[in-house]
Amino acid sequence: MVSKLAKRPVSENIVELVERKGIGHPDSIADGIAEAVSRSLCQLYLDEVGEILHHNVDQNEVSGGQSETWFGGGKIIDLPYIILLGRAVEDATFQDRKLRLPVRSEAVKAARSYLKENFHDSKLAQESGFNIEDCIVDVRMGKGSQDLIRNYQRQARRCPPNHQICKPANDTSLGVGYAPFTDTERLTYAMERFIRNEAPKHGLDAVGKDIKVMASRYKDEIHIIIACAIISPRVSDPYEYHSIIEQLKALCMQKAHDILGYNVEISINQADDLSSDDPGDYYLTLSGLSMENGDDGSVGRGNRVNGLITPFRPMSTEAAAGKNPVTHIGKLYNVLASQIASRIANEAGEEILEVQVKLLSQIGSPIDLPAIASVELITQDDNNYHKWNGRAWDITNESLSSIEELTGQIVKGSIALF
Amino acid sequence: MVSKLAKRPVSENIVELVERKGIGHPDSIADGIAEAVSRSLCQLYLDEVGEILHHNVDQNEVSGGQSETWFGGGKIIDLPYIILLGRAVEDATFQDRKLRLPVRSEAVKAARSYLKENFHDSKLAQESGFNIEDCIVDVRMGKGSQDLIRNYQRQARRCPPNHQICKPANDTSLGVGYAPFTDTERLTYAMERFIRNEAPKHGLDAVGKDIKVMASRYKDEIHIIIACAIISPRVSDPYEYHSIIEQLKALCMQKAHDILGYNVEISINQADDLSSDDPGDYYLTLSGLSMENGDDGSVGRGNRVNGLITPFRPMSTEAAAGKNPVTHIGKLYNVLASQIASRIANEAGEEILEVQVKLLSQIGSPIDLPAIASVELITQDDNNYHKWNGRAWDITNESLSSIEELTGQIVKGSIALF
Amino acid sequence: MVSKLAKRPVSENIVELVERKGIGHPDSIADGIAEAVSRSLCQLYLDEVGEILHHNVDQNEVSGGQSETWFGGGKIIDLPYIILLGRAVEDATFQDRKLRLPVRSEAVKAARSYLKENFHDSKLAQESGFNIEDCIVDVRMGKGSQDLIRNYQRQARRCPPNHQICKPANDTSLGVGYAPFTDTERLTYAMERFIRNEAPKHGLDAVGKDIKVMASRYKDEIHIIIACAIISPRVSDPYEYHSIIEQLKALCMQKAHDILGYNVEISINQADDLSSDDPGDYYLTLSGLSMENGDDGSVGRGNRVNGLITPFRPMSTEAAAGKNPVTHIGKLYNVLASQIASRIANEAGEEILEVQVKLLSQIGSPIDLPAIASVELITQDDNNYHKWNGRAWDITNESLSSIEELTGQIVKGSIALF
Amino acid sequence: MVSKLAKRPVSENIVELVERKGIGHPDSIADGIAEAVSRSLCQLYLDEVGEILHHNVDQNEVSGGQSETWFGGGKIIDLPYIILLGRAVEDATFQDRKLRLPVRSEAVKAARSYLKENFHDSKLAQESGFNIEDCIVDVRMGKGSQDLIRNYQRQARRCPPNHQICKPANDTSLGVGYAPFTDTERLTYAMERFIRNEAPKHGLDAVGKDIKVMASRYKDEIHIIIACAIISPRVSDPYEYHSIIEQLKALCMQKAHDILGYNVEISINQADDLSSDDPGDYYLTLSGLSMENGDDGSVGRGNRVNGLITPFRPMSTEAAAGKNPVTHIGKLYNVLASQIASRIANEAGEEILEVQVKLLSQIGSPIDLPAIASVELITQDDNNYHKWNGRAWDITNESLSSIEELTGQIVKGSIALF
């Protein structure tokens, strides 16, 4: 159902607030690991039994270590501890052979690989004495409820005759999406990636990968607050620290202007006490990751599937990372709702100011037949509404009918989830 | 700042969606344990050193067990495993004595006590062979980052002269609140409590405490979907199961009508396959808790501080349970924003249709001086807006200036957080 | 084979050394838990499938907590942590039904029950604030090697025709036993039990259950060195502590004289510094158990199956506690060798000065057909040797042929193993 | 005190039994890790505070994984899980600076390095898909009892005036040693090393490192029973397996003859069922280590400090590996007693048939002043006894007075302990 959205666009609200936890934030690390584990299990299942079996591995915990840092160096007192929890089917029958699938063993390897691929840096390991591979990765995954496994295996019961897609929704659950991004959202999203990818290229190799960007807009003034772990072995004293922050700030100011065409205010590492000589008054880490020192992370407490936290937008609290990409509605519908909103917004360009998509599943019904599919539009004017009304609905239906393609894309890793 | 909220009230939207995870849901158990642990640590700190020291224990995980159930009984194959993570200061100096505080030991005891107080049932333990005290409760809490401890101990740096409150905000973080509840919200909230407290009194002692209520409203039709763990030793066969569900449904229908004055549609345990003889096709548990069988829980993934999940309302993704109640803005501001909204709505009665409150902190500033305090009103008409505009602001300021009282109330347990 | 033992009896050696770790010693707690778990699994298997399935649960670890004690009280900083490891079959088929057996869940319950039965003391729990049930009991038992399970299930391959007993030995392994006990051994064994059972009856309720007795004999002088955890809430100051030790010493002196008919030297808690006021210089514990404070325990590192550690006697290093009592030779042969030695010694009285029994199994052969069965005798004179030679062999054969009775006795708990 | 040993030499007993668990046996892996961790902590302490602080890390557990193997390959279902327990001081003051020492972090690194150095094989990792570095290494080391730390720090209280060595014994504990090795002992010890080092050089690269050698001698016939994990990816079928075993047996026969000058009987992998096609009937592993599949290991349950288990010799049950090498008598005295016995035996050559050394410490006395030092000799004849009596005592005293040199040698790793 398509309807008018009876409010002004988010970008016209007086106050706006947007956050992105970078990939090195402990909550994002938890998400990243969860999704890496799920993808590796999918691959294992496909290889061994030809189809993805039931699993939900969205329950790991990143329990931060303890470090001591000073200008020029530091040491790890306690290693970060990561425990993989959740569920995965481990007994299967394939072509009359009974199989035991190495789900826990694969999970640990996938988690370690994820850390290595994203955070390993031989040079830094040598300078700091801490290697990301030193993290303790433990696993206590269970087998899953027979109930949920059963539902997973079942054909949808409420399936209309001749309906093509038979996988039933695993739960009564909601997916939401919106488009287009406001300036504040675009900037927040871009800024984390910019710092992560570009800071080192500008000689700022002391800038770590744990980057949190929070943007608030009051009327038309955007204020970007960045918290960014600085790598202690690469900063010799408070002056150098200060200089790095100033250079980073200048870079970010320029980038923001490039993106928006106007200036924003930027603050970096506000909790620092620049009058102090004490390294404890600066955001120093050995590894560029706050999880080395007391910062914990959980799946599903960071970014939503579009990469942002937007408290004033409709949001699902579902954790998507680590859920099975076959029947888990909290994963599929959030991704799909975002995609639908984006497609409509992209196609319509400036004629549509805001699209909100809501998909509500019904447990047991085929995954492409939501209980509610609502598309709400804020258009430039009524003409535009009538122009896009039907097309929006078509896009929605097309997307729903190809929902099963998401699974493959998720397994391949071509869909970002946090 | 008070302003008009430029949209129609949530209750007038075409679609509304509200969820409440009952106290027996694994995510709520994780929240409940986190908060019980935090409160017991607060008490320990107050007893031993006279003030609440730094801690954030919002990182436990409830890793579900494995059970096998059948009509008339069942068995626990693997016990639920609960691991307490997070941070708490354990070394302190008080009156020149160095103290080691038993933070991990207290945490485990608090977690066990919470489970016992809320879920112990001697009679059921005997019938089922499973005692809630059998759960494995492990602990690996660390000491916390020196950085955050330091900020915790510091006086607010951006404190105006003669300002009374000196505790600085621990983070740049947001609190949101709204009032009043819509019909759908009121009903969702009330229904979980009703089933939990009243079902046994109506002879339905097979109804467990793991109750999830999801309500969707389409135009003016509310549909309540309830998932409710049924206690297998107390149900002899599918017929009795069916009868219990029907009785429960009738009770809930009546209750809904009592609350709202009109009828709603109610579905209970939709995933059941009533045509089946296989106990695996019913939502059976030994203990009335799905965590006995593969359902995991995490802090902060369930209800928001007002007890609901409302994806179409502004929501914070912050986990409140388990955070320290002295400087943790994600906890204090979410509670406070809800309270401010409720006070305004209660005072104004029908003249105000909707209040939204947003409080954004600034790291290092005193906790009663938010960077942004925004109150948005939808009033019956413009007169009402001008009437309540100033008063709303006064209530906000009064609430902010007494923010420190929240701490004591939270420690006492008189503020619900999930 | 029976032969003469070409040495003088142990009691005539110049130096003798004997040790007993009391049931409250961490190594004995590890043994006690291992055996309690094995026995409960045996019962579970018997109840569910009518026979004892493969398991070896001799791998738990008792990782001590941390406490702080002072005269008059103390506190537990970190709880003792006990992890149950090892192996047990959990999937079985019985009467064509596939069963999943709750081996881990039973193991945890058995471990907790063992602690409660042996160390719970409500009064002490109240005085000390520490309850033995507060210990963390975790479990990570695996399924066991298919190989060993297979061997367990197999009929003995090297079984002679019409041989009755078909269970094959699980390993090439040795059992040793000796009799009679020397004075030093008798005294060591008796003294720990005496203190544990009698001290409280003599008003010494500050004497804990963690009692280690080490006896050395040099020529004909026996020196008993006792380490005994004192319960801090029950001792108000060093004077009272001193007085308790003196009273305990007097009791033990008397007991030793009662047993042996002559005096021995006794030292208690030698590491104490009686000149100090510092509670840290005394052996104080809240619970009477050193595992509350940094003392760890492992299965198989304490007493041998006869309850003693006797480094100058033949000893097996096999851990018996926790091993399966059906095919595990390290368990069965050590018990049996002790029993054979005792039977021979008891029957012969003073005519036999020393009996040593050695049984060596052969993997795959029936458990009652050892590769080597050696009985060595030291008799008063050659006549006695010829008199008892044949009878000793008969006793050995009778014992071997009834080896399967051991299993039931072990499951019932009527055979001590440490 | 030196005395005659009133028995015939072990080599003249009718039955003799000797065992060696190779370095790849799970118990030896536990020992090896414990000692590697202790050594790395010693080095950390020396580097950071100039002296070795208190620790005992003899409590790790190697909890075996689960694998499935077949001729030509296999897979790891569950990874081996190793948990490091025990105690180590982590807070220290050095030159007025308070230090937190990264004991847990170092422990994990040391354990991983030990595994890598001893068992890593890139080629095998590629063939098998299992890398020794995949093992999960977890750590939960505590701080240690204040009591024991205190005793560790104390000067010996029972120290004679002007005595040089002031470190007090940590416990009343016993060390035993003997020399020379019998033929059976020499052969057992040599055989494990031979197989481990030489089998691959003879083309038998399917022979794993988990090698257990048990030798029994009955009169003058020695029977060597070898259990040796075979690497499944390197054996294509039962025929090849059989051929490998036969080649290995021939090699070992030859080696035994080289060592002893006469033939012995050798059996390898007796539990195999060579008539079977089922890989489960053979001792196959992916990695050459049984810990991959259900075999667990504990510190102190394998070889004694001389590398052998000799149940008919005097033996200490103390675990040496992982104990601190400064005050731990169970470690120092066992090493020293072996060294003393060897020195005497080496010097005397054939004139002494057997030396037994027993050292008993007294808690609180300097470590070089044992309560009992007993040297017992079996000599060719009385003349030899009188000849060597005095020299044996001198060697004992020289060794005791240089006991502190052991510490450095142990830290360097130049003394084998298992």
Three-state secondary structure readout of D126-174: HHHCCCHHHCEEEECCECCCHHHHHHHHCCCCCCCCCCCCCCECCCCCE
**pLDDT in the model for residue B45:** 96
For residue A309, which amino acid is it?
Answer: I
Q: Is the pLDDT confidence value at C144 over 90?
A: no
Write out residues in chain B with pLDDT < 50, as ranges: none
Q: Is the pLDDT confidence value at C229 over 80?
A: yes
**CATH code for the domain of D197:** 3.30.300.340
Residue D163 pLDDT level (bands cut at 50, 70, 90): confident
D397–chain C nearest CA distance, Å: 19
Flag if C79 and B105 touch (Cβ within 8 Å). Answer: yes
Mean per-residue pLDDT for D316-331? 93
Mark which residues 28-67 of B lie under 8 Å from A by CB: 56, 59, 61, 63-66
Q: Which of A333-342, B178-187, C141-150 is predicted with the least confidence, judged by mean pLDDT?
A: C141-150
Mark which residues 161-180 of D lie under 8 Å from C by CB: 172, 174, 176
Task: Kindly tell me the sign of the dihedral angle through the C-alpha atoms of A175, A179, A184, A190.
Answer: positive
| Residue where the block lists tokens 């290229």 | A201
Mean per-residue pLDDT for C337-354? 96
| CA–CA distance, A230 with A73 (Å, rounded to integer) | 11
- D417 in any annotated domain: no
**pLDDT in the model for residue C221:** 96
Mark which residues 225-254 of A lie under 8 Å from B by CB: 225, 227
Instruction: Say if strands B81-84 and B136-139 run parallel, antiparallel, or are unpaired.
Output: parallel
**pLDDT in the model for residue B158:** 67
**CATH code for the domain of C80:** 3.30.300.10
CB-based contact C150:C313 (threshold 8 Å): no
The verdict on D202 and D345 lying in the same domain is no
- Chain C residues within an 8 Å CB radius of B109: 134
Max CA pair span of chain A:
74
ipTM at complex level: 0.93
Tokens coding D111 = 């354990």
- D363 in any annotated domain: yes
Q: Which of A120-124, C26-30, C396-400, D269-273 is predicted with the least confidence, judged by mean pLDDT?
A: D269-273
- Chain C residues within an 8 Å CB radius of B120: none
Mean per-residue pLDDT for A185-196? 98
- Domain boundary among the residues C297, C322, C338 is at C297
Flag if D3 and C17 touch (Cβ within 8 Å). Answer: no
- Chain B residues within an 8 Å CB radius of A15: 358, 360, 372, 374
Q: Is B290 on the interface with A (CB under 8 A)?
A: yes
Cα-based angle D154, D156, D161 (whole degrees, multiple of 5): 130
| CA–CA distance, B44 with B36 (Å, rounded to integer) | 12
- C166 in any annotated domain: no
The verdict on C345 and C363 lying in the same domain is yes
Nearest Cα to Cα of residue B256 among B192, B179, B349, B178: B192
Q: For residue B256, which phi and psi values (nearest 5 degrees)?
A: -60, -40
**pLDDT in the model for residue B145:** 61
The verdict on C261 and C236 lying in the same domain is yes
Max CA pair span of chain B:
74
Instruction: Enumerate residues 6+ apart whose C-beta is below 8 A from D356.
Output: D5, D176, D177, D178, D314, D341, D374, D375, D376
Task: Kindly tell me the sign of the dihedral angle through the C-alpha atoms of D290, D295, D300, D301.
Answer: negative
**pLDDT in the model for residue C150:** 64
CB-based contact D129:D76 (threshold 8 Å): yes
Give the nearest partner residue to A294 out of B87, B299, B314, using CB atoms.
B87
Q: Is A91 on the interface with B (CB under 8 A)?
A: no
Q: Is the pLDDT confidence value at C272 over 60?
A: yes
Residue D170 pLDDT level (bands cut at 50, 70, 90): confident
**pLDDT in the model for residue B363:** 83
**CATH code for the domain of C405:** 3.30.300.280
The verdict on A317 and A292 lying in the same domain is no
**pLDDT in the model for residue B364:** 81
Q: Is the pLDDT confidence value at A349 over 90?
A: yes
- Domain boundary among the residues D275, D297, D319 is at D297
Tokens coding A203 = 């000689």
- Number of domains composing chain D: 3
Q: Is B220 helix (H, G, I), strand (E, B) or coil?
A: coil
Q: How far apart are the first and last CA of chain A?
A: 28
CA D16 to chain CA mean position, Å = 20
Tokens coding D206 = 């399917």
**D237-294 pLDDT, tens per residue?**
999 999 999 999 999 999 999 999 999 999 999 989 888 999 999 999 999 999 999 8
Task: Supply the mean pLDDT for chain C.
Answer: 93
Q: Is C234 helix (H, G, I), strand (E, B) or coil?
A: helix
- A16 in any annotated domain: no
Flag if B77 and C102 touch (Cβ within 8 Å). Answer: yes
CA A15 to chain CA mean position, Å = 24
Expressed as residue numbers, the domain containing D204 is: 183-297
The verdict on A242 and A385 lying in the same domain is no
Q: By CA distance, what is B6's nearest residue in A?
A: A7
Give the nearest partner residue to A78 out of D76, D105, D109, using CB atoms.
D105
D258–chain C nearest CA distance, Å: 26
Number of H helices, E strands in chain A: 9, 19
Tokens coding C52 = 């004892």
Please report how many Cα atoms fall inside a 13 Å half-sphere around the Cα of residue B307, on the Cβ side.
17
A388–chain D nearest CA distance, Å: 54
Residue C368: other Cβ atoms inside 10 A? 22
Q: By CA distance, what is D102's nearest residue in A?
A: A77
CA D57 to chain CA mean position, Å = 15
The verdict on C136 and C207 lying in the same domain is no
The verdict on C277 and C315 lying in the same domain is no
| CA–CA distance, C395 with B10 (Å, rounded to integer) | 90
The verdict on C221 and C237 lying in the same domain is yes
- B125 in any annotated domain: yes
Residue C43 pLDDT level (bands cut at 50, 70, 90): very high
Task: Supply the mean pLDDT for chain D.
Answer: 93
What pairs with residue A389 in β-bridges? none
More confident of the two residues C302 and B1 = C302
pTM for this entry? 0.95
- Chain B residues within an 8 Å CB radius of A86: 296
The verdict on D178 and D325 lying in the same domain is yes
**C154-176 pLDDT, tens per residue?**
666 667 777 877 788 888 889 99
**pLDDT in the model for residue C170:** 81
- Residues D152-161: contacts with CB under 8 Å, at least 24 apart: D152/D53, D152/D54, D152/D324, D152/D326, D152/D327, D153/D54, D154/D364, D156/D364, D156/D365, D156/D366, D156/D367, D157/C273, D157/D364, D157/D365, D158/D362, D158/D364, D158/D365, D158/D366, D158/D369, D159/D365, D159/D366, D160/D369
**A154-163 pLDDT, tens per residue?**
666 667 777 8
E strands, B147-189, in order: 174-179
Distances (CA, A) of D191 to C376, D201, D224, D228, D252: 29, 15, 9, 12, 7
The verdict on A289 and A306 lying in the same domain is no
- Domain boundary among the residues A276, A297, A318 is at A297
The verdict on C214 and C67 lying in the same domain is no
A158–chain D nearest CA distance, Å: 37
- B15 in any annotated domain: no
CA D134 to chain CA mean position, Å = 24
| CA–CA distance, C301 with D75 (Å, rounded to integer) | 34
Mean per-residue pLDDT for A95-119? 95
C242–chain D nearest CA distance, Å: 18
More confident of the two residues C95 and B148 = C95
Q: Is C137 on the interface with B (CB under 8 A)?
A: yes
Instruction: Enumerate residues 6+ apart whose C-beta is below 8 A from A67.
Output: A74, A75, A76, A77, A130, A285, A286, A287, A292, A293
The verdict on A64 and A78 lying in the same domain is yes
**D105-153 pLDDT, tens per residue?**
999 999 999 999 999 999 999 999 999 999 999 999 987 665 556 667 7
- A241 in any annotated domain: yes
Q: Is C317 on the interface with D (CB under 8 A)?
A: yes
| CA–CA distance, D317 with D314 (Å, rounded to integer) | 10
- A162 in any annotated domain: no
